[in-house]
Structure 1
Amino acid sequence: MKKALPILFIIAALIVTAAVTFSIKSTKTVDWEESFNEKSNKPYGVSVFYKELPSLFKNHKVRTVYHQPDSYLQAHSEDSYGDHVAEGSFVIIGNSDYLEDDSIDELLHFVDSGNTLFISDYYFTQKIHDTLNFDVEYIENTKDSISYQSLKYLDIKDITIDRNEGDNYFSNFDTINYKVLGHSKIDYKHINFIEAPFGEGKIYLHLEPKAFTNYNLLKEGRYKYAEGIISYLPENDVYFDSYTKIQTGYDGNVEKKSNLSWFLEQLSFKWAWYTALIFGILFMVFNAKRRQRIIKIIKPLQNTTVAFVKTISNLYFETQDHKNLVDKKITYFLERIRTDFNIDTTILNEEFIVKLASKTGKKKEDVKKLIDFINWLRTKNEFFEDNLIKLNKQIEAFYLN
């Protein structure tokens, strides 16, 4: 064993070196996942917009909120334990579907006290719809992948957003009290940006979050559109809702985050970390073995059914065929709905949602969230691992809750 140990270490070192070299030289594929992550430099991250916020709001504090809005805003209310009283604009770009009723109530209270809420997303939680009394619908782009954005009261017209399979728009809202600020155009012009007064403050709802992504801000003059939208926010402190949200209660540290995450994003540091782990594990493995005769291990009979499932799952994992898995998950889910509840699943519309909620005894908003996500997935041609994970979690939650 002592003679073989140096050879094994050399082999391991060569493997790691080859892996690092291949990783550096290999051509990276473009990840078009719409994460809206403020730390991501990928096309549909929002790191450029996030870094420009301090220059857009000069002489004001830009704070990044890594916690749920309810816990953070409660902590920074009057007579609470935060280091300041939260006042200004709360900004959410994409991923607003995580908002639960408690967070929405706290955000509405924040606005009612004279502050501002800005959300740019494709759709909003049911409670926001019910509170502000509006509807959002989807129009498919049948000609090409381009839609044209404009702002009503600013000289900003026909800003293109490409790679766009369709647009969401406000089909119904309070036209007397709400103000239309922007439009999107595919076959015809439709409203996608409104201002809604609420108490002493205002709520801005926008339906094209891709306008704030790195890809669009760095292409041609598209940054003017995002800049024009943000110009509606008052000159005050900004609270930016982070993608890397901590799902626990607030502990008083608004900037709390992992110190290791930044190192893992740097290729050299990442492989240095992995190399240290590999050699550490090898050291423990070869030094932990007791020097004695090998005791023969009698293997129990294998469960071939489990092995078959593992083989099939590994096949899908290696091929990265997320679209096939997403299609199968949706197909099996709808088949079970037809079998268990005798409901026609040909058209997944509002009538279907009401009928399914009635027969299952579940909340309509929970059912709507799942069905809307399935309808959205059906419009996409390309999928990523996060889409599959999110679909699986929502289907499991549907049966467990």
Structure 2
Amino acid sequence: MKKLLPVILVIVALIVVAALTFGIKRTKTVDWEESFNEKSNKPYGTSVLYKELPNLFKGNKIRTVYHQPSSYLTANSEFGYGDHHAEGNYIIIGNSDYLTNFSVDKLLDFVDVGNTLFISDYYYTQRLHDTLGIDVDFEYNSKKDSISLLSFKNKNLNSSNIDKNEGDYYFSRFDSINHTILGYAKTDINRVNFLKIPFGKGQILLHTEPKAFTNYNILKNERYRYVENALSYLPDGDVYFDSYIKRQTPYGEAEKRSNLSWFLEQLSFRWAWYTALIFTLLFMVFNAKRRQRVIKIVKPLQNTSLAFVKTISNLYIETQDYKNLIDKKITYFLEKIRSDFNIDTAVLNDDFIKKLATKAGRKKEDVTQLVNYIKWLRTKNELSEESLIKLNKFIEAFYSQ
């Protein structure tokens, strides 16, 4: 019987796996998190756009950048160690707040020699604001249907609706002489949301509605035509698509590649690797039962406060109740602001931002970014782990300055 036990366990395990795979249908809720992840098929991912880039830029190389632009453009420069000289169009859809000042400078150098930078995001790093002389503001959508109209200054190009839109980000300040208006966002009135800015020998295209480039909007009706028209302002050339998934390392390969990829391409190494995995699995199955009783170790009583906190945190993480965790983190942060700086946190307006920036000795732009993100989180009914991580980074940056 003991000899048959491992075989029985393997058979039972296979039956359970088969039942879970073929017999259980899970009901999944739609995740409306705005990740702009080029590998995500969720409504606000950008996998459709990412797959269509070869059709939009026919005959040109499409490269995916998994590094900070500073690392990538340095490696693939005229005197760099990359495999080519980067020239063409650099595209960033959402999540541009990760850009360091050094990366912004490298992108501007990239444009200065005759290339094009395209960014569609709600707001940009302060270095871009200061260098290009622009400001971005937000206007709430007063319409009950939460629909905004995106249009081009060129009337021959297709306009598009954006639904589920709480409001519009627009350029409240720009150089009306040197900057060219390409498009508008309209709820109650037209707001400039698409600019072409000459820089050196190249150009910078700034757009403030990244949701237009997501799966949900591209696949709905004929909204994809708006995306085609927006990207038609980019000149013919290779495309460097900024990836949502970054490798935050200053050196190494400029494009993502698995450490095992070369070995798996070799037939002998591949079979050796798979054979080792199979024998490891068999070893674990046949040695699952301990051969000797465990000697119990009696530990002295410890302070379990930290363990309790970790347990509660893990409970929220396992239940994926990120909304609850984010609400508690915001409540704790505002309570600390009240106790440390004696500031009323009931209304998070411009007056609150000015007081907090003054008393905390922080830049007003950084405080504004943090407060606006907190206000945005409060409007959402469902949130993801990415939102929790991003909020935590903003709060840590506030205290680390």
The bucket for the TM-score relative to the shorter chain is: 0.7 to 0.9
Aligned partners of 2:126 and 2:365 also within 8 Å: yes
TM-score normalized by structure 1? 0.86
Please tell me whether residue 367 in structure 1 is matched to residue 367 in structure 2.
yes
Match of 1:266 in 2: none
Q: How far is 1:293 from its partner?
A: 5.0
2: CA distance, partners of 1:89 / 1:213: 19
Aligned partners of 1:67 and 1:250 also within 8 Å: no
2: CA distance, partners of 1:390 / 1:136: 21
Please tell me whether residue 237 in structure 1 is matched to residue 261 in structure 2.
no
Aligned partners of 1:71 and 1:250 also within 8 Å: yes
Alignment of 1:337-352 (within 5 A): 337-352=337-352
Match of 1:127 in 2: 127
* Larger deviation, residues 242-251 vs 151-160: 151-160
Please tell me whether residue 183 in structure 1 is matched to residue 189 in structure 2.
no
Aligned partners of 1:81 and 1:252 also within 8 Å: no
* Larger deviation, residues 153-162 vs 221-230: 153-162
Match of 2:208 in 1: 207
1:289/1:220 CA distance change after superposition, 3 Å:
closer
SS at match of 1:84: coil
Match of 2:104 in 1: 104
Aligned partners of 1:145 and 1:164 also within 8 Å: yes
1: CA distance, partners of 2:399 / 2:282: 43
One-letter identity of the residue aligned with 1:87? E
1:66/1:257 CA distance change after superposition, 3 Å:
farther
Alignment of 1:67-216 (within 5 A): 67-142=67-142, 143-156=144-157, 158-216=159-217
SS at match of 1:164: coil
1:219/1:288 CA distance change after superposition, 3 Å:
closer
One-letter identity of the residue aligned with 2:117? L
Aligned partners of 1:181 and 1:195 also within 8 Å: yes
Deviation per CA, 1:128-172: give whole Å up to 9, x if none.
111111111111223222111111114235411112122111112
Deviation per CA, 1:248-298: give whole Å up to 9, x if none.
1243443535779xxxxxxxxxxxx9xx89x95784386387644553443
One-letter identity of the residue aligned with 1:373? Y
1:55/1:6 CA distance change after superposition, 3 Å:
closer
SS at match of 1:203: strand
1: CA distance, partners of 2:330 / 2:185: 31
Q: How far is 1:75 from its partner?
A: 1.7
One-letter identity of the residue aligned with 1:131? T
1:282/1:317 CA distance change after superposition, 3 Å:
farther
Aligned partners of 2:158 and 2:225 also within 8 Å: no
Match of 2:265 in 1: none
Match of 1:298 in 2: 298
Alignment of 1:54-65 (within 5 A): 54-65=54-65
1:93/1:33 CA distance change after superposition, 3 Å:
same
1:356/1:151 CA distance change after superposition, 3 Å:
same
1:41/1:298 CA distance change after superposition, 3 Å:
same
Match of 2:46 in 1: 46
Match of 1:270 in 2: none
Deviation per CA, 1:174-214: give whole Å up to 9, x if none.
11111111111112221111111112211111011111111
Moved over 6 A (4+): none
* Larger deviation, residues 230-239 vs 286-295: 286-295
Aligned partners of 2:119 and 2:207 also within 8 Å: yes
* Larger deviation, residues 284-293 vs 91-100: 284-293
Alignment of 1:20-31 (within 5 A): 20-21=21-22, 25-31=25-31
Deviation per CA, 1:322-344: give whole Å up to 9, x if none.
22222221121011111111223
* Larger deviation, residues 39-48 vs 362-371: 362-371
One-letter identity of the residue aligned with 1:76? N
SS at match of 2:107: helix
One-letter identity of the residue aligned with 1:171? S
Q: How far is 1:382 from its partner?
A: 2.5
Aligned partners of 2:159 and 2:226 also within 8 Å: no
SS at match of 1:156: coil
Match of 2:269 in 1: none
2: CA distance, partners of 1:259 / 1:32: 34
One-letter identity of the residue aligned with 2:119? I
1:259/1:173 CA distance change after superposition, 3 Å:
farther
Match of 1:263 in 2: none
Q: How far is 1:216 from its partner?
A: 1.1
SS at match of 1:160: strand
* Structure 1 unmatched runs, 5+: 261-272
SS at match of 1:371: helix
2: CA distance, partners of 1:70 / 1:253: 10
Match of 2:390 in 1: 390
Match of 2:381 in 1: 381
* Larger deviation, residues 308-317 vs 340-349: 308-317
Q: How far is 1:57 from its partner?
A: 1.6
2: CA distance, partners of 1:87 / 1:358: 44
* Structure 2 unmatched runs, 5+: 262-273
1:282/1:367 CA distance change after superposition, 3 Å:
farther
Aligned partners of 2:113 and 2:202 also within 8 Å: yes
Aligned partners of 1:140 and 1:165 also within 8 Å: yes
1: CA distance, partners of 2:253 / 2:323: 42
Match of 1:328 in 2: 328
2: CA distance, partners of 1:320 / 1:282: 33
* Larger deviation, residues 39-48 vs 223-232: 39-48
